[in-house]
Structure 1
Amino acid sequence: MIKRYESNPIIKPDDILIDNDELEVFGVFNPGAAKFNDEIILLLRVAVKPKSEKGWIKIPIADKTDSFAIKILKWKKTKSLKILDKDARFIDINDKRYLTSISLIYLARIRDGIHFDISKEPALAPSNEHEVFGVEDPRIIRIDEKYYITYTAVSENSFCTALASTEDFKKFEKLGIIFPPENKDAVFFPERINGKYFSLHRPTVSFIGRPSIWISESEDLIHWGKHRIFLTPNNTKWERTKIGAGPQPLLTDKGWLIFYHSCGDNQTYSMNLILTEKNNTQKIIGKSTKPIFTPRYKYEKVGVVPNVVFCNGWIAKDKEKILIYYGAADKYVALAETEIDLLLSSLKRV
C-alpha cells in the first residue's frame, strides 16, 4: 500500500551543517511539508548536542540574552553531583530536569521530490522563554495564501504548542502559544468548516486516562475553545500507550483523510488512518483496523529512538498520489509514496 523510496533515507545528520565546533548534529527527522510555487518545502527538526568531554556533563540551551545562540551548561562529574539519567533524552541534575539535546527547525527546498537544498541557518530557532530547550516537530498548513506552522516549544516549564506563519518561507512571524502545557501534535484543518477553524491536538495526561487526540474550534487560529475528545487509543499492541495527530488532514471525495501516529508495545511508533465527514469533522466514518505503516527497515528500527516511523508532512502529488515525508528512528528523513484510493480502501466503516 505504501512504497518506500529505494534510496532511503533521503536526509541524514551529515547533511546538516552547523557553525559551532562544540556541537554535533545527531538527528534530522519529523519534517513538516508543503507545496510552494514549483517546489516542495520541508521544515526539518534538527537535533544537536554538545560533543562529549570526559569527566563533564554538558547540556545545550538557547541563550535568551542575545540574538539566537546556543549556550552550553557544564557540570564536572563528582560524587556530590546528584544525577538521574534513566532516559537518554533528558537528565535530572540536582533535582532540575534538562534535555540532553536542543532542536532547531531548518528548511529544505526540493524540486523533484527527492533532491534538496538545506538552509545554512535555522528557519525557526528558539527566541523566547517558552523555547529555551528547543523547537520541535513542525507541521505546515496552507490556509488561503498564508502558511501556518504549528510546532512544539520546550522549556523548563514543559512543552506546549506554538504557532508561526509565513507567506514566502523567507520571513516567519511567531504568533505565540496556542495550547499551553502539556500539549503537542497540533495540526489545523486547511479551511473553514461551517464557518469555523478546527484543530487536532494532543494534551498529555499523567494521573488518569491515556494520551488521546482532542479537537477544538477557533475563529482566528489563535484563540481555541469547545475542546473535546476526538479519538482515544484502542487497547491493541499498536496503540495502547498513546496516539497523536500527524500532517494536515487531506480532503478527498469521501471526506477528510487523517493520518495519525500511535505508540504501542515496546514503544513502537506506527501510522494509522481515519476518515471523517466533510462537513462534520467530529464524525469519524472510517478507520484502519491495524497500522498501515510500521517500522520495517534498519533505518526505521535503529537510530536515536528505535522502531519509529513518524509523519508530520505529506503532499498530494496529484489527484491520485501522495508523497509521505517521515521521520525514521528519530534520526533520518525518509520518503514513501502511496495512492489516495489505496488508503481509502483500507478503511473499515464505523
Structure 2
Amino acid sequence: MHETTTRTTPFFNRQTLHLRPDPARVVLRPFEPAPEPRALNRIDKSRACRIFERILALDETGVETLLAATLANFKGRHRNLLDIFDRRATEMSGAFACDPSLSEARHQLIGAYFLNEYSFEAAALFNPSIVPHPDQLGTTGGRFILSARAVGEGHISSLTFRTGNVAADGTVTIDAPERLASVPEITARVGDRVELAFDPASEITERVIFPITEHQANGIEDARFVAFQDKGKTTYYATYTAYSGQAIRSELFETEDFVSFRMAALKGVGARNKGMALFPRKIGGRYAMIARHDNENLYLIYSDNLHEWGPGQPILQPAHAWEFIQIGNCGSPIELDEGWLLFTHGVGPVRHYSIGAVLLDKEDPSKVIGRSRQPLIQPAASEREGYVPNVVYTCGAMQLEGRIVLPYAISDTFSTFATVETAALLELLKS
C-alpha cells in the first residue's frame, strides 16, 4: 500500500503518495535475431532459420524436456505461456525455409526461442492522466483510472494503467497493480489504423500497450485521456505522441471499456507537433482541440473530423518569466460552470518546468478570462532530481465534488498527486 497523508503547500495539497516504477513487472516481446554479415564459403541462411533447424534436430524427448524446463523457469511470471509460445511460432513461420509437420511441443518451443522479457517500467513511470472509472458501483468516493507513461531499457515508452479512489476528504489511494502484465493482440490493421484487444478476464492494471507500428518504434508517449460525452454515450479518447526514434507524430486512442482499443494517426497542420488535448464534448456541434503546432504557443482548433486538424487560432502565448521558452497544455480542458479550466505547463530558465492554469470562456474558449501569474506547482527542493531534472508535468486532471485531483510527474521518473478546492483555484485565476 501507499502512504496517503497530505502536506499543505500555500495552494495545493501535495499528497505523499508516490507511484514509482517497478522493474519486476515484465511483458513478453518478440525477439528477432539480427542478421550476421555474409561469411566466405558459408551458406547464407538467416539466423532465425539456423535457430529453427537446431530445434528441429532435437529428438522429441529432448523437446519435451526443454519445454518443461522453460515453463518451470518462467512459472508465475506470465499468464497462458503455452498460448503465447504458439502464437509467436505461428508469427515466425514465414521466416523458415521449410514447414514440416511439427508436434505441439516442438511448435511451442520454437515460439519460446523467439521471445524475450522486457521490463517496461524499469526506468520511469510518469506523465499521468486521469479519468473517472466506468464502474463506480460500491465506491464511497470517486473511482478513477490512471494512465501513465512507462519507460524501460533503451528509453522505449509504453502505456500502462492503475486504478484508485478519491475519498470524501480528498485523500487519494492507488490500488496495488497486478503482478503480471500482458500486451494485447492485434485484431485488425488497415493502413495506419490498428485495433487491439486484451483478454477481458485480465485486470486493467495488467494491460500494457507497447509500440506496435514503425511510427511508434521508440515510444507511445504522454497519453492525454478524456471521457468524451456525445449523445449520452461515453467514449474514452487519448491523444498521444508516437516516436519512431527519428520523428514524431500525433495519434489517437479510442476505447469504451479499456479492453478493446483503436489507434490511428491524426492529420493536418494542427497535428504536426506534440501535446494535443481534446475537449470532453463537442462545442457548437464540432470537435475542439487545444494544440501547440509551432513549439511555443497554444491554439484552439475546431474540426468536423476527429482525425483531421487545421491550424486554428492562437489563444495563449508565453507571458510570464516561468514560461518564456514555451507553454503547453497539461491535458484536456475540464468543464466547470464558470468556464473551461485548462492546466498548462511553462518552461523557464535552465528548462525549469512548472504547472499553471487558465480559465477559458464557456461559450467561446478562444477567450481567456483568467490566468495564473505564478506557477501553481514547481519542483520541490526534494523532488528536483531524476531522469530529467527540474520538471513537473501532467497529462490530465479530474474534477470531483468541488475538488480538482491532479496527478503529476516528478523529473520524468515517478508520479504523485495534488488536490485543490475548485472554488479557491477559480478565485485565484479570476483575480
- TM-score category (smaller protein): 0.7 to 0.9
1:82 corresponds to which residue? none
Gap change, CA 1:28 and 1:194, over 3 Å in 2: same
Contact 2:298 2:328 in 1 (8 A): yes
1:4 corresponds to which residue? 14
Give, in whole Å, the separation in 2 of the partners of 1:132 and 1:218: 29
Contact 1:163 1:178 in 2 (8 A): no
2:424 corresponds to which residue? 342
Give, in whole Å, the separation in 2 of the partners of 1:290 and 1:308: 16
Deviations 1:98-133 (A, max 9, x none): xxx110001112245422243613532211121111
The equivalences for 1:1-350 within 5 A come to 1-5=11-15, 7-9=16-18, 11-14=19-22, 17-19=25-27, 25-36=122-133, 37-38=135-136, 39-49=143-153, 60=154, 101-112=155-166, 113-118=172-177, 120-121=181-182, 122-144=207-229, 145-178=234-267, 182-205=272-295, 211-236=296-321, 238-298=322-382, 300-318=383-401, 320-348=402-430
Q: Report the Cα offset of residue 21 of structure 1.
A: 5.5
Deviations 1:25-70 (A, max 9, x none): 1110001210022231111100111xxxxxxxxxx4xxxxxxxxxx
Contact 1:161 1:179 in 2 (8 A): no
Gap change, CA 1:138 and 1:22, over 3 Å in 2: closer
Gap change, CA 1:16 and 1:290, over 3 Å in 2: farther
Give, in whole Å, the separation in 2 of the partners of 1:249 and 1:235: 21
1:74 corresponds to which residue? none
Contact 1:323 1:337 in 2 (8 A): yes
Runs of 4+ in structure 1 over 3 Å off: 19-24, 178-182
Q: Report the Cα offset of residue 149 of structure 1.
A: 0.9
SS of the residue 2:224 aligns to: strand
Q: Relative CO higher for 1 or 2, CA cutoff 8 Å, sep ≥ 6?
A: 1
Q: Report the Cα offset of residue 327 of structure 1.
A: 0.8
Contact 2:320 2:373 in 1 (8 A): no
Query: With structure 2 as the length reference, what TM-score do the two structures score?
Result: 0.63
Contact 1:164 1:176 in 2 (8 A): no
Q: Report the Cα offset of residue 156 of structure 1.
A: 3.8
Give, in whole Å, the separation in 2 of the partners of 1:176 and 1:305: 28
1:52 corresponds to which residue? none
Deviations 1:50-95 (A, max 9, x none): xxxxxxxxxx4xxxxxxxxxxxxxxxxxxxxxxxxxxxxxxxxxxx
Deviations 1:195-251 (A, max 9, x none): 22110112244xxxxx11122111132112252212111251x11111111121112
Gap change, CA 1:160 and 1:179, over 3 Å in 2: farther
Give, in whole Å, the separation in 1 of the partners of 2:317 and 2:359: 15
Contact 2:352 2:391 in 1 (8 A): yes
Contact 1:158 1:182 in 2 (8 A): no
Structure 1 portions without partners, runs of 5+:
50-59, 61-100, 206-210
SS of the residue 1:346 aligns to: helix
Query: With structure 1 as the length reference, what TM-score do the two structures score?
Result: 0.77
- Which structure's CA Rg is the greater one? 2
Structure 2 portions without partners, runs of 5+:
1-10, 28-115, 137-142, 167-171, 183-206
Letter in 2 for 1:295: P
Q: Which deviates more from structure 2 when the two are superposed, residues 246-255 or residues 170-179?
A: 170-179
Deviations 1:159-200 (A, max 9, x none): 121001000111111122346775111101111111221101
SS of the residue 1:260 aligns to: strand
Contact 2:126 2:149 in 1 (8 A): yes
Give, in whole Å, the separation in 2 of the partners of 1:185 and 1:213: 10
Larger helix fraction of residues: 2
Letter in 2 for 1:279: E
Contact 1:162 1:177 in 2 (8 A): yes
Gap change, CA 1:222 and 1:117, over 3 Å in 2: farther
Contact 2:26 2:118 in 1 (8 A): no
Q: Which deviates more from structure 2 when the two are superposed, residues 188-197 or residues 116-125?
A: 116-125
Give, in whole Å, the separation in 1 of the partners of 2:124 and 2:211: 18
Gap change, CA 1:16 and 1:43, over 3 Å in 2: farther
SS of the residue 2:426 aligns to: helix
| Number of residue-to-residue matches in the alignment | 289
Letter in 2 for 1:258: L
Larger strand fraction of residues: 1
Letter in 1 for 2:152: V
Contact 1:130 1:157 in 2 (8 A): no
Letter in 2 for 1:193: I
Give, in whole Å, the separation in 2 of the partners of 1:348 and 1:294: 21
Q: Report the Cα offset of residue 14 of structure 1.
A: 2.2
Letter in 2 for 1:35: P
Gap change, CA 1:15 and 1:204, over 3 Å in 2: farther
Letter in 2 for 1:344: L
Give, in whole Å, the separation in 2 of the partners of 1:4 and 1:44: 19
Letter in 1 for 2:257: D
Letter in 2 for 1:286: G
Give, in whole Å, the separation in 2 of the partners of 1:118 and 1:162: 27
Contact 1:160 1:179 in 2 (8 A): no
Give, in whole Å, the separation in 1 of the partners of 2:214 and 2:145: 28
